[in-house]
Amino acid sequence: MSDREKNEVRRVGVFYGGVSAEREVSLRTGAAVAAALRRKGHAVREIDIREDWLGTVRDAGVDAAFLALHGRFGEDGCIQAACELARLPYTGSGVAASAIAMSKVLGKRLASASGVPCPPDAVYEGAGIAGAKPPSFGFPLVVKPDREGSTVGVTIVRGPSEWEEALATAARYDSRVLAEGYVPGREITVAVLNGRVLPAIEIVPKSGFYDYRSKYTAGETEYVIPVPMERDILQRAAEYTRRASHAMQLRGAARLDYRVDPAGNVFFLEANTIPGMTETSLLPKAAKFDGTPFDDLVEEILSDAGLSK
């Protein structure tokens, strides 16, 4: 059977762009996904969505939506809800799962309830942010907006003198901000694809901090696969990924970020429900290492497009 006969979807809308801080990344993800879908024989419409989100979804004129959006409105349950209302099958996690995973606080609560270790945190909201006292778990800590991505608004805070500015920075991006215990050591990310946990990738930023620049400037970060770490640590990270993604009811492709401290303890930071999908992004790297080339990965994500998930 050809790919087309196996898959009943014919007209696919790739929704990309968006209005979040991650628009530029989404443009690249969308272009790569659209090219792969065309190579697979689909009739593809690229839909750069900037305004009138409801009208764009309703009038898309396609059989399925491949969501290649990141951040607010695209990854947080909003466009997923628009697709539900329009009865347009869409890729990835459903409305509730997307909204929960978008919130670092809520994602950690569900992960933690399923037995996945998370760093301690304190949450500040609205008028309670300015003038808030540092949490009792002390410094160093990390201050971040609850619902952002790409390390936007994230500050590593070494001591009290940096506290107030870090809060103000995070508050520029979200009305809810969290302070989290800093986990020294190494960083790994683990992807899950339609319930299958993929091999971990270690992230080694030259600057020591995996910030926006380290994420999107070629050569600024080394990505290591397979990860040179004890087997039992990696097995634990895989098990945490299974549990956390199940607890959050994630679907399709997702990527979970972890810190690993010098004693080998693994801590869950956050889940990304629409991970970057350029050919050099992390999820495609892990899939390729696992034997799934980019075009097949895209097709596999599309195969899980649906409603009421």
Which residue in 276, 281, 299, 304 is the catalytic one? 276
CA–CA separation, 215 and 150 (whole Å): 7
- Contact flag: residue 183 with ligand ADP (CB under 6 A): yes
Going from the C-alpha of 295 to that of each of 34, 41, 49, 251, 292, the distances in angstroms are: 10, 11, 23, 19, 8
Tell me the two tokens of residue 95: 């409305």
Residue tagged active-site, from 180, 187, 270, 299: 270
Tokens of 153: 């608004």
The item of ligand ADP, Mg ion, none sharing an interface with residue 304, based on CB under 5 to 8 Å by kind, is: none
Would you call 223 a catalytic residue per the annotation? no
Task: Judge whether 270 counts as a catalytic residue.
Answer: yes
From the list 16, 18, 22, 240, the catalytic residue is: 22
257 binds Mg ion (CB under 5 A): yes
Options 26, 150, 221, 241; binder of ligand ADP; rule CB under 6 A: 150
Determine, following the binding rule CB under 5 A, whether residue 75 of this chain makes contact with Mg ion.
no
Query: 3-state SS string over the chain?
Result: CCHHHHCCCCEEEEEEECCCCCHHHHHHHHHHHHHHHHHCCCEEEEEEECCCHHHHHHCCCCCEEEECCCCCCCCCCHHHHHHHHHCCCECCCCHHHHHHHHCHHHHHHHHHHCCCCCCCEEEEEHHHCCCCCCCCCCCCEEEEECCCCCCCCCEEECCHHHHHHHHHHHHCCCCEEEEEECCCCEEEEEEEECCEECCCEEEEECCCCCCHHHHHCCCCEEEECCCCCCHHHHHHHHHHHHHHHHHCCCCCEEEEEEEECCCCCEEEEEEECCCCCCCCCHHHHHHHHCCCCHHHHHHHHHHCCECCC
Nearest distance from C-beta of residue 124 to ligand ADP, angstroms: 16
Q: Is 151 in the site for ligand ADP (CB under 6 A)?
A: yes
Q: Is 239 an annotated catalytic residue?
A: no
Which residue stretch of 123-131, 146-154, 282-290, 291-299 sits at the interface with ligand ADP (rule: CB under 6 A)? 146-154
Q: Nearest to ligand ADP by Cβ — which residue?
A: 210
- Restricting to residues 72-111, name those near ligand ADP by CB under 6 A: 104
User: Is residue 64 a contact partner of residue 303, using CB atoms and an 8 Å limit?
Assistant: no
Residue 296 annotated as catalytic: no
Exactly one of 266, 269, 277, 298 binds ligand ADP (CB under 6 A); that residue is 269
Taking CB atoms, the residue at the shortest distance from Mg ion is 257
Kindly name the residue from 20, 93, 150, 245 that is annotated as catalytic. Answer: 150
Decide if residue 119 touches ligand ADP (CB under 6 A).
yes
Q: Pick the closer one to ligand ADP by CB: 25 or 247.
A: 25
Nearer to ligand ADP, 79 or 102 (CB): 102
What is the total count of residues that contact Mg ion (CB under 5 A)?
1
* Partner from Mg ion, ligand ADP, none binding residue 187, C-beta < 5-8 Å depending on class: ligand ADP
- 265 classed as catalytic: no
Q: Which residues in this chain contact ligand ADP in the complex, by CB under 6 A?
A: 104, 119, 142, 144, 148-151, 154, 180-183, 187, 210, 257, 259, 269-270
Q: Which residues in this chain contact Mg ion in the complex, by CB under 5 A?
A: 257
Which residue numbers are catalytic? 22, 150, 216, 255, 257, 270, 272, 276
